[in-house]
């Protein structure tokens, strides 16, 4: 793999020198006219060719070869081939043929680049949620709509010639808008968590799209002049894109934690789309801009619907968690109070484990928690049509709906709350309260005084909670 590393470093160093020389030539000039002419002519094909070398070498050097980066390198190669044909065959042509094979290479740049961005985004984010995908669509549509409103209509209006020439001229701004939209969408899908590699790649591709859009606009108007800072846009974009592949690659994240960006950024992009639609009321924009901006606003509405549904799901989950005992999965005291408040008729069976403290001290808290979990499951299975609860510690209860044989049901439930083993015996003491005969409210049903009366009555009915120990129901304290 050493040859790939050396090739990549050599290509990157050469690209830095080439870009620096071109920027100097376009700002303060070079002492040699021949060198300036050579840079004007050959920097175009050399920069993307070197970028393709750097990106491919780096992608092949890594143990896990990235198909996404290789596709980005293929896009740079297509651009280099188009620029090479232009520099060798069309540089001095008069009149300039349009379209030509150079345009075929330049337009071919977009297809592998688009595919590379998608694959890199998937490698980085893994499986994305519906909310993140919608955020990506909102950002992409807003930027594409704004770009179409600013430049696309003017380019189309200034374009003339044969149908093939018009189609070629229109293909460039559409592809550039697509490139901008795809970059913004990929960033939104990733939760706007920019690593150095993605920040550099995004900057390079955005600079490329903006430079190319201005170039097409000036060509359509007939105002393009060789030797301006615009010529450095593509070269600098190639350098930044090549630089991106050498940055640390952030591992794929299964889930991105998002804060205010989940609301602020979709809202900002939605306002961009809405502003484009409002602007059309005062000054007409191209139909493509209207379609993209309308789709952006529609995506924002869909995103609001999704947020509302997510909030409802979280509210249901929080309510369920607040009314569920975390250890056993049974209802907790809060759930019991809610159910007692709506109960018209039924039986509240109260159970208190005997011997659990000794078991917990002897075998440890983890074993004690496991025992409580098993007993809770048995309690729930013993009364599948009724609600079982854990009130805390070693206290449980069951709310039996409807009228029934109180003594039989109570002893059947208590029988499920027993476990014996080597060196331990855990049983349950119990009592019951009839609703509404013996308790009108939840407070009455759970009050120590009310439970004492019930236990006294239960004792007169010969309802022994632990007959093997000869004890009366332990719901009295």
What pTM was estimated for this model as a whole? Answer: 0.65
Domain count, the chain: 2
Residue 470 placed within a domain: no
More confident residue, 256 or 334: 334
**377 pLDDT higher than 50:** yes
Residue 272 placed within a domain: no
Q: Mean of the per-residue pLDDT values for the chain?
A: 81
Residue 280 placed within a domain: no
Sorted by sequence, the CB contacts under 8 Å of residue 213 that are 6+ apart come out as 147, 151, 172, 173, 176, 177
Q: What is the CATH classification number for the domain harbouring 455?
A: 3.30.70.270
Q: pLDDT tens digits for 115-124?
A: 999 888 887 7
**In contact, 75 and 113? CB cutoff 8 Å:** yes
| C-alpha 44 chain-centroid distance | 38
Cross-strand pairs, 116: none
Based on the number of CB atoms within 10 Å of its own CB, is 100 exposed (0-12), middle (13-18) or buried (19 or more)? middle
Q: pLDDT tens digits for 4-48?
A: 888 888 999 999 999 999 999 988 888 888 898 998 899 999 999
**111 pLDDT higher than 70:** yes
Give residue 12's pLDDT: 92
Residue 258's CB is within 10 A of a number of other CB atoms, namely: 16
**450 pLDDT higher than 50:** no
Q: pLDDT tens digits for 392-414?
A: 888 999 888 765 677 778 888 88
Same domain, 175 and 35: yes
What does the pLDDT average to over 344-357? Answer: 86
What does the pLDDT average to over 345-350? Answer: 84
Instruction: Walk across the sheet containing 419-421 and list its strands.
Output: 387-392, 395-401, 346-354, 424-435, 419-421
Nearest in space to 142 (alpha carbons), one of 309, 308, 253, 303: 303
Give residue 455's pLDDT: 40
**461 pLDDT higher than 50:** no
- Extract the runs of DSSP E, i.e. beta strands, from 175-279: none
Confidence of residue 447 (pLDDT cuts 50, 70, 90): low
**453 pLDDT higher than 50:** no
- Alpha-carbon distance of 146 to 407, in angstroms, equals 76
Distances (CA, A) of 468 to 45, 408, 425, 459, 465: 95, 17, 11, 15, 9
Residue located via tokens 């940055």: 247
Residue 237 placed within a domain: yes
Give residue 436's pLDDT: 75
Residue 177 placed within a domain: yes
Cross-strand pairs, 421: 424
What does the pLDDT average to over 168-196? Answer: 83
Choose the final residue of a domain: 250, 285, 319.
250
Give residue 47's pLDDT: 95
Q: pLDDT tens digits for 249-295?
A: 665 444 455 556 667 778 888 999 999 999 988 888 888 889 999 99
> Three-state SS across 281-313?
HHCCCCHHHHHHHHHHHHHHHHHHHHHHHHHHH
- Alpha-carbon distance of 302 to 266, in angstroms, equals 11
Residue located via tokens 């590699």: 197
175-184, 334-343, 352-361, 424-433: least confidently modelled range? 334-343
Residue 310 placed within a domain: no
Choose the final residue of a domain: 201, 217, 250.
250
- Provide the residue range defining the domain that includes 385: 333-460
Same domain, 242 and 357: no
Same domain, 234 and 355: no
Lookup: tokens for 292: 């993209």
């Amino acid at each position: 793999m050493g040859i790939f590393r050396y090739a990549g470093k050599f290509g990157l160093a050469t690209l830095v020198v080439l870009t620096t020389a071109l920027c100097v030539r376009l700002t303060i000039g070079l002492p040699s006219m021949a060198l300036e002419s050579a840079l004007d002519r050959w920097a175009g094909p050399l920069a993307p060719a070197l970028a393709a070398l750097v990106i491919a070498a780096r992608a092949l050097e890594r143990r896990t070869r990235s198909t996404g980066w290789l596709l980005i390198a293929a896009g740079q190669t297509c651009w280099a081939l188009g620029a090479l044909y232009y520099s060798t065959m069309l540089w001095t042509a008069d009149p300039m043929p349009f379209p030509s094979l150079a345009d075929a290479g330049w337009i071919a740049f977009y297809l592998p680049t688009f595919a590379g961005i998608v694959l890199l985004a998937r490698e980085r984010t893994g499986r994305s949620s519906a909310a993140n995908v919608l955020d990506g669509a909102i950002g992409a549509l807003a930027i594409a709509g704004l770009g179409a409103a600013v430049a696309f209509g003017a380019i189309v209006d200034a374009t003339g010639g044969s149908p093939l020439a018009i189609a070629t001229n229109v293909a460039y701004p559409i592809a550039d808008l697509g490139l901008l939209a795809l970059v913004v969408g990929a960033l939104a899908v990733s939760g706007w968590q920019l690593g150095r590699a993605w920040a550099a790649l995004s900057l390079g591709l955005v600079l490329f799209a903006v430079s190319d859009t201005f170039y097409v606009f000036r060509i359509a108007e007939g105002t393009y002049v060789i030797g301006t800072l615009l010529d450095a846009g593509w070269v600098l974009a190639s350098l930044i894109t090549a630089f991106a592949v050498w940055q640390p690659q952030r591992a794929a994240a299964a889930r991105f934690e998002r804060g205010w960006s989940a609301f602020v950024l979709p809202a900002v992009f939605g306002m961009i789309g809405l502003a484009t639609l409002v602007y059309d009321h005062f000054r007409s924009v191209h139909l493509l801009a209207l379609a993209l901006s309308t789709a952006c606003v529609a995506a924002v509405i869909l995103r609001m619907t999704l947020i509302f549904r997510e909030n409802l799901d979280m509210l249901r989950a929080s309510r369920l968690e607040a009314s569920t005992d975390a250890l056993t999965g049974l209802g907790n005291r809060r759930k019991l109070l809610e159910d007692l408040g709506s109960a018209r008729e039924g039986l509240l069976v109260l159970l208190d484990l005997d011997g659990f403290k000794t078991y917990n001290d002897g075998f440890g808290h983890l074993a004690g928690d496991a025992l409580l979990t098993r007993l809770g499951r048995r309690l729930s299975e013993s009364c599948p049509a009724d609600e079982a609860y854990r009130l805390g510690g070693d206290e449980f209860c069951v709310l039996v709906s409807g009228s029934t044989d109180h003594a039989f049901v109570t002893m059947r439930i208590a029988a499920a709350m027993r476990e014996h083993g080597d060196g331990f015996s855990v049983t349950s003491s119990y009592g019951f309260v009839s609703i509404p005969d013996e308790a009108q409210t939840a407070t009455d049903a759970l009050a120590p005084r009310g439970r004492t009366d019930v236990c006294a009555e239960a004792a007169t009915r010969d309802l022994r909670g632990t007959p093997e120990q000869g004890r009366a129901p332990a719901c009295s304290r």
